[in-house]
A and B are shown apart, each in its own frame.
Chain A
């Protein structure tokens, strides 16, 4: 117990029972009113995260149905139309209603605390952004009951999450499914952009005294780059969707091949959004890992300036790689070579981040607490994801692997194996700050191992299925193609992940009341959020802090050996 600060849950003393967020309002109606009208970044952050976990369960259930349908060849669990809706809604929900809200939620909660501010720059705009995001999700899910009615797939979007033209034109998509897709995402998109502006303004204009940009925690830096990408690259999606709405409702000819329009143009517009989007999702995950690994290795992050430079470089280069999703569309050799080159270039700053994290762990005293377990799993899995990404970036290899289960395996490795694992790390790390109580460790260990095993059982075999020729988005397959065993293992893994996720949700709920008291700083960490109570008061800090280094709380704990002497 160095310096008298407790470092594990067992050592936490029993201070007064900390209040749960919203507990001051007593009644249920008071609590609901508080959430509906709140403009507090902490409550909104938790609401974003709550929305994310809610849709995670919903979209995860869809995945379970998909995997059950694919368990055996020629299965008839769901109709082909229902299956198309399932994977469309699974993908769209996971990206826009799970992953995006989670990164906005984490940024909302932690950025003002980490920069020593009282709230976001525009609190009411913050609430507006959340409710728009939530409403967009409701609008899209309303498609299940709207139009053709309650009979299953009905009008739910069924054109894949990237809604290729001309499949989305009125001729080939009769009914309103495509309209729910465009309109739902247009609404959510406005919420994302306004939220992104808010976070960027907060970071630029509300840092506490002494916190220059080069003293910000890496999570804040990565949130800044992420929100820059949101603000710049969500509009192309909105523009394409506006064009699609004009085409479907007013007869415009943007992607109408009969009128000379180009189906390829949709793909360009979509992927100009779509590729930066995946960096939007992954950069905050890097931020979380950059917070967790140093604290649990007991060393500062190795090479802070390079980490910042690499992150900014990734942000800019991500604008120039989009057509690697289009290698098979029939582009010229020059275009393909250029995009393959750009894709491999961006792998360099991404890859060396792994080295920086490795360098942080090297020579440290690694505590294998739950946040660190998730971070370590992230490191191995993100390494693999990055390498399969390189394989896909080599265009000729991609000509075999594109649109196959290998690609599905690759991006789930990034999004689940990388981003979701980082979100779990963030949850175990910051839940004590938000709720004043530690998450239950035993449940956490079960959660970690079940989810990791389930994850690998689900997605490792999918690499092989892709190598053996299994394409994406098929509701069934013939026997004898060599795909059966890989699909079966994958389905079993999916259910194991589901059980693990359930354990986590139970942990979240139970620990809010029964978890061990956390205190201000249960992990012996160094950034400003740990300098206030758990949970923080509404105004965050009694007095706004002044900092002199990147680890202000380290400076406080080590007045004889402060960081600002060495930085």
Chain B
């Protein structure tokens, strides 16, 4: 059977962008993953049989949140610059975003160092330790992946390999970065605000 009869006509046929749909689905699946860890955290709140307990050792993450939420703002600025064609501005703001992301990781490192060596809280200490490190650690690993993606974009751009047709790739990385920020908002809410006094 010949396919001539099925030849395409000239009318408009719009379908969504594959990269956007793919990234939305990645966000969906990662959200499902994080949800389970959040549920475990909330379920075990107040159920640890031995110290240290959250209210004894947790400090509200002002610096970390400023860095991460701030980086969401700077990435928006970077994208605006890219859209205008201001490449230098794009590079500056994009680099600041990556640096702030990296700063968040350093901040987390410091926080964990204090918790482990000063407060004696490890993954196996009690239910709080298990659920805290797994949730915050899972998030931090996503920040790390995001940082690597941001760096890759930066390097590709600095070496002139980033073309206009890659604008959607850049946009997708920024969506991912916003998602990571969104998860941090949930973590702050669950761990430090709701659970902060347990």
Where the two chains meet, the residues of A that have a C-beta atom closer than 8 Å to any C-beta of B are 121-122, 193, 196-197, 200-201, 204-210, 231-236, 238-240, 242-243, 246-247, 250-254, 259-262, 265, 269, 272, 520-521, 530-532, 541-547, 552, 556
Contact = CB atoms under 8 A, between A and B. Distances in A.
Interface of A, secondary structure class, is: helix
B6 to A, nearest CB: 4
A491 to B, nearest CB: 40
Nearest to B36: A239
B142 to A, nearest CB: 13
Given A121-B22, A242-B134, A521-B1, A261 B127 contact: yes
A1 B137 CA distance: 66
A235 B33 CA distance: 5
Interface of B: 1, 3-9, 11, 13, 15-18, 21-22, 25-26, 28-30, 32-33, 35-37, 40, 43-44, 47-49, 122-124, 126-127, 129-131, 133-134, 138
Contacts of B138: 242
A253 B127 contact: yes
Nearest to B17: A205
A209 B73 CA distance: 39
Contacts of B3: 531-532, 541-543, 545
Contacts of B33: 235-236, 238-239
B124 to A, nearest CB: 3
19 contacts: A197-B22, A200-B21, A200-B25, A201-B22, A204-B16, A204-B18, A205-B17, A205-B18, A208-B8, A231-B28, A233-B32, A236-B33, A238-B33, A246-B130, A246-B134, A252-B130, A254-B127, A254-B134, A543-B6
Given A193-B29, A209-B8, A272-B36, 20 more contacts: A197-B26, A204-B21, A209-B9, A209-B13, A236-B36, A243-B40, A243-B130, A246-B123, A246-B134, A252-B134, A253-B130, A254-B130, A259-B49, A259-B127, A269-B40, A543-B4, A545-B3, A552-B6, A556-B1, A556-B5
Contact of B43 (A239, A242, A262, A520): A262
Contacts of B18: 121-122, 201, 204-206
B8 A543 contact: yes
Interface of B, secondary structure class, is: helix
A461 B40 CA distance: 41
Most A Cβ at <10 Å: residue of B3, B30, B138? B3
B13 A210 contact: yes
A557 B4 CA distance: 13
Most B Cβ at <10 Å: residue of A209, A250, A251? A209
Contacts of A532: 3
A112 to B, nearest CB: 13
A235 B13 contact: no
Contacts of B7: 543, 545-546
A200 B15 CA distance: 13
A196 B29 CA distance: 10
A126 to B, nearest CB: 12
A201 B21 contact: yes
B29 A232 contact: yes
Nearest to A265: B43
A243 B33 CA distance: 12
Most A Cβ at <10 Å: residue of B6, B17, B28? B6
A60 B43 CA distance: 40
B6 A197 contact: no
A414 B18 CA distance: 35
A251 B29 contact: no
B123 A546 contact: no
B166 to A, nearest CB: 16
A207 B21 CA distance: 14
B29 to A, nearest CB: 5
A200 B33 CA distance: 19
A207 to B, nearest CB: 6
Contacts of A207: 15
Contact of A232 (B4, B32, B47): B32
A524 to B, nearest CB: 11
B36 A252 contact: no
